[in-house]
Amino acid sequence: MTNPVLVTGATGFLGRHVCRELLEAGHAVRGIGRSDGSDLTAMGVEFVQGSILDDEPLVQATDGIETAYHLAGWVSRDPKDAEAMRAIHVDGTRRMVEALSASGCRRVVYASSTGTIAASTDPHACADESTPYPLELVGKWPYYESKIEAEELGFNLARERGLEWIAINPSLILGPGDLGGSSTGDVIQVMKKQIPAVPPGGVCFVDVRDVAIGALQAMEKGIPGERYILGAANWSLETFIRQIGIAGGVKTPTLSSPGWLTVNSARIVEPICRLFGKTPPLDLASAQMSCLFWYADNSKARSDLGFTPRDPMQTLRDTVDDLQARGLI
C-alpha cells in the first residue's frame, strides 16, 4: 500500500475540498486538524485530531509521509488574534518543515495568499508572482504580516532541509462548504443587507473547488521554490456586491462611499459598538482593506499548471445556495 498524502488544516474550508480531490484521484489521505473530523473519517481519510503546534499529533501525522499539503491557517481581522495567527502560520510552518524533512518527505504544496503580494492603492495594478511584498500597506494587519513571514520561512527552511516546497497563493476563496465562516462573511453581509454603501476598492476571488484542483496541479507540475497565483475574477467592489445581489436575488446599495468616509466611519462606529458588546457593521481593518485593490494575475498558473477556474457567477450562486441551505442567510 502506498504511503498516504498528508493534508494539514484538513477540517478547514480548503482542506476538506483538497481531501476530497485526493480521494477521488485514488490517493490514500491522512489529515490533521483541530476541529472534529468525523465527516473526513466517513469519507475515508485517516484523521489525526490535534494541532500542528503540539508534538504528539504532529509526529503521528507526519510519520512516513512523502508528499504533503500544508494548508493549516487561521483567518482573522482582529488585532487581538495576532499572536495566535503568528503561532499557527510561522511557528506551525517551521514545525511542519522540520517534521516533514525528518520523516523523509520530498515534496510539499503550501497554501499562502494573494494578499501577501496583491494589495495596491492603484485600481489599475494587478500583481503577479514577481510582485514584491507590499509591507507598507499590509504589514499593519497581523494576518498578512504572518503569512508573508511564513511564506519566506517555508521557502528558505525547505531549501536548507532539501524539501521541494511549492506555494499556491489563492485569492479570496468562495464556494460551498465554508463551515467555519472564514471566507464567506462578506457574502453574508451583502445578503443580509448590512452594507449601507459601496467602498471604493476591488477584490480578486476564486472558487474553493478550483483551488483544490489547483493544489493538486501544483503538486504534479509545480516548480520547487516557485509560487502560483490561484485567482479567478478581478472585480471592483461595486461589481462584486452587485453580482452577489444578482446571485442571491437581493437589492444591493447604490450609494458609493469614498475611502476617507469608509475608514473614518469605521473608526468612530467600531469602538462604540464594542463598548455595548455589539459587532460593528464594518470594523476598521475591514474598512481599510476595502479601500485597496487586491487584483492578481493567474497567467502563470494557467500556463504552467493548467489551472482553469470556473465562471465566477457560478461560484457566487453556489456560495449563496450553500449559505441558504445551512440557514446562514
For strand 233-236 and strand 202-207, is the pairing parallel, antiparallel, or unpaired?
antiparallel
Return all residues near 130 (Cβ < 8 A) that are at least 6 apart.
none
Sequence-ordered alpha helix ranges (H) in the chain:
13-24, 38-43, 55-62, 82-86, 92-103, 135-138, 142-161, 185-191, 208-221, 237-248, 259-275, 284-289, 299-305, 312-325
Is the Cβ–Cβ distance between 62 and 100 less than 8 Å?
A: yes
Can you read off the three cell numbers belonging to residue 325?
441551505
What is the CATH topology of the domain spanning 5-174+206-231+295-309? Rossmann fold (3.40.50)
Can you read off the three cell numbers belonging to residue 9?
488544516
pLDDT in tens, the chain (329 residues): 578 999 999 999 999 999 999 999 999 999 999 999 999 999 999 999 999 999 999 999 999 999 999 999 998 888 889 999 999 999 999 999 999 999 999 999 999 999 999 999 999 999 999 999 999 999 889 999 999 999 999 999 999 999 999 999 999 999 999 998 889 999 999 999 988 889 999 999 999 999 999 999 999 999 999 999 999 999 999 999 999 999 999 999 988 887 767 877 878 877 788 777 777 777 888 888 999 999 999 999 999 999 999 999 999 999 999 999 999 98
Could you give the angle at the alpha carbon of 305 between the alpha carbons of 41 and 154, nearest 5°?
A: 65
- How many Å apart are CA 277 and CA 266, to the nearest integer? 16
